[in-house]
Amino acid sequence: MISDRREQQIEALKDKEYRDLYVAEHIRTGIAFQIRAMREDREWTQSELGQRAEGMAQETISLLEDPDYGRLTLRTLRRLASALDVALIVRFTPFSDLVDWMVNLTPQRLAPPSFDEELQPAFTKMALPQDDSTKAWIVGACVAAQEFTRALTAEEEPTEIESATEERRREYARVA
């Protein structure tokens, strides 16, 4: 369960040394994985991302995607954010926000859409059926997919995933 994982993380964070390591690891690994996830989501090569990021070399992009590199600058991150057309937020925050981010991490959160993609959700590009039962099924399927992704991250048992998914589908069918 997500709440159990959250509580375990908060308990571990009571140790100051662990907190410092947790933040450092989040920055180093999280940013590297996020750069790669966004690049791959856009189906760009490292060279293509480098060109879009004010002429960075492919080798530099490779280093930035390596969690062991860890030599990021705000200028470099701003260049990447501009190239990927996403916002960059650098702020101090409570540890509970960091834990919530990590516990609720999904592929969609790891690779946010560009500004233009965000303005055009997938469903606005598709011609959807107009009958309410089909709409309810589509919404339920999307919710089920999100829950399945969360469950994989939380390492829940498949039976828990299936029962939660079926319950969510019934709930959305009632709404429609």
The beta-carbon contacts of 18-22 under 8 Å, at least 24 apart in sequence, are 19/95, 22/98
Residue 128 has pLDDT above 50, yes or no: no
Question: In this structure, what are the phi and psi dihedrals at residue 37, rounded to the nearest 5 degrees?
Answer: -60, -45
Task: Return the higher-pLDDT residue of 157 and 92.
Answer: 92
pLDDT on residue 52: 97
Residue 92's CB is within 10 A of a number of other CB atoms, namely 5
Question: pTM score > 0.95 for this model?
Answer: no
CA atoms within 13 A on the CB side of 42: 24
Domain boundary assignment for the chain: 2-109, 123-175
Q: Which two tokens stand for residue 101?
A: 């981010």
User: In whole angstroms, what is the distance from residue 110 CA to residue 38 CA?
Assistant: 7
User: In whole angstroms, what is the distance from residue 30 CA to residue 18 CA?
Assistant: 17
Residue 147 has pLDDT above 90, yes or no: no
33 touches 67 (CB < 8 A): yes
User: In whole angstroms, what is the distance from residue 73 CA to residue 85 CA?
Assistant: 18
pLDDT band at residue 154 under the 50/70/90 scheme: low
Residue 107 has pLDDT above 80, yes or no: yes
Residue range 2-109, CATH number = 1.10.260.40
Instruction: Report the interhelical angle of 74-84 vs 31-41 (nearest 10°).
Output: 20
Q: What percent of the chain has pLDDT over 90?
A: 56
pLDDT on residue 170: 57
The burial of 11, by beta-carbon neighbours within 10 Å (0-12 exposed, 13-18 middle, 19 or more buried), is given as: exposed
pLDDT on residue 108: 86
- pLDDT digit string, tens, across residues 45-102: 999 999 999 999 999 999 999 999 988 999 999 999 999 999 999 999 999 999 999 9
Q: Rounded mean pLDDT of the chain?
A: 81
pLDDT band at residue 166 under the 50/70/90 scheme: low
Non-local CB neighbours of 140 within 8 Å, separated by 6+ positions: 168, 169, 171, 172, 173
pLDDT band at residue 163 under the 50/70/90 scheme: low
